[in-house]
Amino acid sequence: MRAKESPDCIPRIIRSYRPDGPFRVFPPRFLRKLYGKWRLDPRTPHPWVFDAEAMCHFRQEGVSRLFALLRPASRCRVLSLGEGNGAPSRLLAKLYGCRVTGVDVSPLQTANARGCAALHGVERLVDYVRQDLHDLDLGRRRFDRLYDNESAVHWRDKEAILVRALRHLKPGALAGFNEWLLGDQGDLDAAWSRFPDFRRMWARGIWFQVSLRGFCGILERAGFKVLQAEELTDEVDQVSRRRLAVLERLRGILDEGSRLGIPYFQAMIKTHGRYLRYGRIIARAP
């Protein structure tokens, strides 16, 4: 077994998302103070709220586009795989009134997601389960929709996870993925070796990238029917560069947490195309 396929990648992934890490995870008490300073109501779908809580490369507009393609309704029950701190699910609950169940392996991320749900006023619409997705088991729960936002890149066995997830989907349920994909010259472990500033951002051996075509093939083998697949690297690159430009322009007045986005996006943009591509896939359960 190669080192990067070892199950010990799970502790490395968990350590990569923490309050004192380069990809900083803000606890609810910090966010409450931040929103008070900004005079911003976190119960609204204001994009500043999303940006404060999610270093998401697709940003709120890209996540909202994914949700729109899934055509959710308030009656829908949605399964989120790789929930993280739950920012996309809170946005989904606010925009559509859906009930969302988010699954994540990190105890810290799961705790933060619960606290943030209360802060956002959506605690009755979202709930969280802490599990390794490779062992996903939600009993008799069944869902109308499934989504993953920038998470499957950390899944060692994507097909096995998707097969397990399919058992919890109702017939004809839609599934959507905003995903990090394989670059033209390799994966992010290759970028880790090449760029010291990227090395400071992330641990090695937590990336399991495939091409857009490869991801579609995995979905088909798991039992899904792929409805559409988009290559979005140029679009996400432009969005990331605009976000970085704003952060750099406001550097002098930003709080410490916001300033962390500057070295993060400086490092990530270097990987675009060569070691990291982006795509969006919409699929249907049988």
Residue 87: predicted pLDDT: 96
Mean pLDDT throughout 81-85?
95
Q: Cα dihedral angle (263, 104, 165, 284), rounded to 10 degrees?
A: -40
Residue 7: predicted pLDDT: 58
Residue 2 has pLDDT above 80, yes or no: no
What domains are there in the chain, each with its CATH number? 3-284 (3.40.50.150)
pLDDT > 70: percent of the chain = 94
Residue 184 has pLDDT above 80, yes or no: yes
Residue 121 has pLDDT above 80, yes or no: yes
The amino acid at residue 24 is: R
User: Partners of 38 in the beta sheet?
Assistant: none
- Between 13-22, 57-66, 73-82, 150-159, the lowest mean confidence (pLDDT) is in 13-22
Residue 1 has pLDDT above 50, yes or no: no
Q: Could you tell me the two tokens for 125? A: 């619409």
CA separation for the pair 106, 10 (Å, rounded): 9
Residue 261: predicted pLDDT: 83
Residue 255: predicted pLDDT: 67
Residue 8: predicted pLDDT: 76
Length of the chain as a residue count: 286
> Do residues 98 and 125 lie in contact, with contact meaning Cβ atoms separated by under 8 Å?
yes
Kindly give, in sequence order, each residue whose CB lies less than 8 Å from that of residue 62, ignoring residues fewer than 6 positions away.
Answer: 56, 178, 232, 235, 236, 239, 280
pLDDT tens track for 21-34: 666 788 899 899 98
Q: Could you tell me the two tokens for 190? A: 């290759």
Residue 123: predicted pLDDT: 97
Residue 134 has pLDDT above 70, yes or no: yes
Long-range pairs for 107-110 at CB < 8 Å and ≥24 separation? 107/14, 108/14, 108/17, 108/18, 108/19, 108/25, 109/14, 109/17, 109/25, 109/83, 109/84, 109/85, 110/83
Mean pLDDT of the chain: 92
Residue 250: predicted pLDDT: 80
**In which band, very low, low, confident or very high, does the pLDDT at 148 lie, cut at 50, 70 and 90?**
very high
pLDDT tens track for 199-234: 888 889 999 999 999 999 999 999 999 999 999 999
Q: Is the backbone of residue 234 left (phi > 0), alpha (psi -120 to 50) or beta?
A: alpha
Residue 231: predicted pLDDT: 98
